[in-house]
A and B are shown apart, each in its own frame.
Chain A
Amino acid sequence: KAGVTQTPRYLIKTRGQQVTLSCSPISGHRSVSWYQQTPGQGLQFLFEYFSETQRNKGNFPGRFSGRQFSNSRSEMNVSTLELGDSALYLCASSSTSDTGELFFGEGSRLTVL
């Protein structure tokens, strides 16, 4: 079956703009998690959604938000972009068995100029 799909794969924005990233999980997976990956901070957990509800949230400012739709697809939004938001944003889905195994997409690489 198809893996986790993230769009767009690459994007360039300027400071102050906002961006929306999309993630389509593996069919049947109800949990979607988002991570930010940067060379300096490594992989940092943003938030996790399960059945349209935010279940966990990392330590990021309110400019970072997300949502999940009834078909389990998820979007994350970053408003008022800053240079430091440049990163690879990874989405991961997991099944309801909750063994914790995450299936990752290839990421959306955001560059903020």
Chain B
Amino acid sequence: AQSVTQLDSHVSVSEGTPVLLRCNYSSSYSPSLFWYVQHPNKGLQLLLKYTSAATLVKGINGFEAEFKKSETSFHLTKPSAHMSDAAEYFCVVGAYNNNDMRFGAGTRLTVKP
């Protein structure tokens, strides 16, 4: 079975400062890991994905995440927050070749001017 735990339900940063959204995963398989973003009243958009290639994954809008097997973590980072980054972020685990995706509870990112 697989699951993810997002360690923070809410993160608040100032514009221009770094962003760190934390995610730990559990998986019986070699996992595929994803980060999705959801802006208010919108569907989810893929930010980035890890599928056993490079452990440092670069995504859209300057986000990146590092897969650390020893720590079972897949934290999302961005060097400098922008006001448009304010949204809900979901960490997701899925087994390769299996669409049984498990979503974390989400982290709401607030960006202060």
A residues engaging B (CB < 8 A)?
4, 31, 33, 35, 42-43, 45, 48, 50, 55-56, 90, 92, 94, 98-107, 109
Choose from A50, A90, A109 the contact partner of B99 (Cβ within 8 Å).
A50
B96: chain A residues at CB < 8 Å are 98-100
Nearest CB of chain A from residue B110's CB, rounded to whole Å = 16
Closest B residue to A94 by beta carbon equals: B99
Q: Is the CB of B42 within 8 A of A33?
A: no
Closest A residue to B97 by beta carbon equals: A98
B99: chain A residues at CB < 8 Å are 31, 33, 48, 50, 55-56, 94, 98, 100, 102
Q: How many residues of B contact A (CB 8 A)?
A: 24
B98: chain A residues at CB < 8 Å are 98, 100
Pairs across A and B, CB under 8 Å, 22 listed: A4-B43, A33-B99, A42-B103, A42-B105, A45-B103, A48-B100, A50-B99, A56-B99, A90-B44, A92-B43, A98-B96, A100-B32, A100-B34, A100-B94, A100-B96, A100-B101, A102-B44, A104-B36, A104-B43, A104-B45, A106-B41, A109-B41
By CB atoms of chain B within 10 A, which of A43, A48, A55, A100 has the most? Answer: A100
